[in-house]
Amino acid sequence: MNEPRSNPLALIAELTHRCPLHCVYCSNPLELEARTTELSTEEWSRVFQEAAALGVLQADFTGGEPLTRPDILDLIRAARAARLYVNLITSGLPLDESRLEALVQAGLDHFQLSFQGAREEVANEISGTRAHAQKLRVLEWLKRHRIAVTLNFVMHRRNIEQLPEMLSLAESSSASRVEFANVQYYGWAFANRDALLPTREQLTHSIDFLKKAQERLAGKIKVEYIVPDYYARFPKPCMGGWARKLMLITPSGEALPCHAAKVIPGLAFENVKNRHLSEIWEVSDAFERFRGESWMQEPCKTCDRRALDFGGCRCQAFLLAADATATDPVCSLAPQRPKVDAILLTINSRVAQASASALTTTISGDATEPRRTDSSAGASVAAPTESKPAWRYRPNPS
Ligand code: SF4
Ligand code: SF4
């Protein structure tokens, strides 16, 4: 049964795919859009007006790096003029304190700063750029400005043992919310998945650690934890359900139901240059294709949880099962779940073997000691001992 059409609540505005960082887990598509194709200030301003008329309450400015847009102040003013709440999702560069002041003066409501870790070496390795020190400076500047702040730490096997240090960083900042979000495997993260997936042991320790942190910091900082889908029993309600709450506009103006939707073959995406946002939301092929339940196969079709998770992620179903209408293979009830279990088994076995062989070498006195976390801080899991992977870095489009 299909429910009546709802309005989108948030507009994810990918202002550009340009970015000074090259994160190995970037959720942008492998085919990045060029600067020359980006919507103009006027086109975005019209989109914000149309979004507000459609019932959208919030604009999430993201990218790429939205701060690379020279007209970022005009875009904030335009979204505010449309009465949207404006959230900037940023790596914190290029930025200095006077530009931060200008963003706040332009009406920015919320600043979400992303971190690649708590330690400079791994953070810079993951971003392929020396960006960590700048993020620490931004954190200090934010204390002097009246603006809501969220910190976002992207977690994976190479940095998950830094959790206590990340939490300390958040506690010393002006953030009222901190999100520890494990990488989800789309875009560049899918290409680098085998080097990013945490081990089961790491994940268990991180969950224990963050449960205690949530209790200790209740009422002070909201601590959120997003586990990797691959370890979950049931999928998350991806995007709150296909075309139910969110719409994403790419830098060139294509309207998508989610970040990764372009991986699904045969979907036709409309462009905001050619059609009003409300028509795109209501009748376009890409938004209609997986709306409601009529597209579902068994076991989703008759499952009691289908109104909770909407059958999981369509893009993940395509990436793992080569069928966008399949039950999300991360679901424990999915016929394709053995594929996910095989991936996890391979990763966990490989890391265990690497750690065992490093330990043997250490005992024989022929290597440095395997890295370990500070157990007194509460996340007493050994960091896997692996050599630096051959990362596939996200490039910067022209
Ligand atoms: S490269 Fe990194 S900072 Fe830039 S958009 Fe991708 S994830 Fe964000
Ligand atoms: S079978 Fe489908 S609806 Fe049921 S839990 Fe799994 S993904 Fe969700």
Average pLDDT value over all residues in the chain? 92
CA separation for the pair 335, 329 (Å, rounded): 7
Q: Report which bound ligand comes closest to the CA of 303.
A: 2
Q: What is the pLDDT of residues 176-201, one digit of tens each?
A: 999 999 999 999 999 999 999 999 99
Please tell me the distance between residue 377's alpha carbon and the centre of ligand 1 in angstroms: 29
- From the CA of 131, give the closest atom in ligand 1: 3
Q: Determine the residue type at 387.
A: S
Whether the CB-CB separation of 115 and 135 falls below 8 Å is answered with yes
From the number of C-beta atoms within 10 Å of its C-beta (0-12, 13-18, 19+), residue 71 rates as middle
At residue 61, the 3 state secondary structure works out as strand
At residue 263, the 3 state secondary structure works out as helix
Question: What pLDDT is recorded for position 375?
Answer: 39
Q: Nearest residue CA, atom 3 of ligand 2?
A: 306
Beta-carbon count within 10 A of 152 CB:
18
Q: Nearest residue CA, atom 6 of ligand 1?
A: 26
Question: To which H or E segment does residue 306 belong?
Answer: helix 306-309
CA nearest neighbour of 144 among 97, 177, 198: 97
Q: 300 CB under 6 A from ligand 2?
A: yes
Residue 360 token pair: 């043997």
- The strand pairing partners of 182, in sequence order, are 155
pTM: 0.92
Phi, psi of 271 (to 5 degrees): -115, 140
- From the CA of 20, give the closest atom in ligand 1: 4
For the chain, list residues with pLDDT below 70.
1-4, 359-385
Please tell me the distance between residue 296's alpha carbon and the centre of ligand 2 in angstroms: 10
Please tell me the distance between residue 91's alpha carbon and the centre of ligand 1 in angstroms: 7
Q: 229 CB under 6 A from ligand 2?
A: no
Q: Report which bound ligand comes closest to the CA of 299.
A: 2
Question: Which residues, including other chains, have CB under 8 Å from residue 291's CB and lie 6 or more apart?
Answer: 2, 242, 243, 244
Whether the CB-CB separation of 326 and 297 falls below 8 Å is answered with yes
Please tell me the distance between residue 253's alpha carbon and the centre of ligand 2 in angstroms: 33
At residue 73, the 3 state secondary structure works out as helix
Q: Nearest residue CA, atom 7 of ligand 1?
A: 26
Question: What pLDDT is recorded for position 116?
Answer: 97
Question: What pLDDT is recorded for position 384?
Answer: 63
- From the CA of 234, give the closest atom in ligand 2: 5
- From the CA of 63, give the closest atom in ligand 1: 5
Strand 246-249 to 177-182 pairing? unpaired
Q: 72's torsion region: left (phi>0), alpha (psi -120 to 50) or beta?
A: alpha
From the number of C-beta atoms within 10 Å of its C-beta (0-12, 13-18, 19+), residue 144 rates as exposed
DSSP string, 74-102: HHHHHHHHTT-EEEEEE---S--HHHHHH
Q: 22 CB under 6 A from ligand 1?
A: yes
CA nearest neighbour of 288 among 91, 2, 87: 2
Please tell me the distance between residue 230's alpha carbon and the centre of ligand 2 in angstroms: 14
Residue 17 token pair: 């795919």
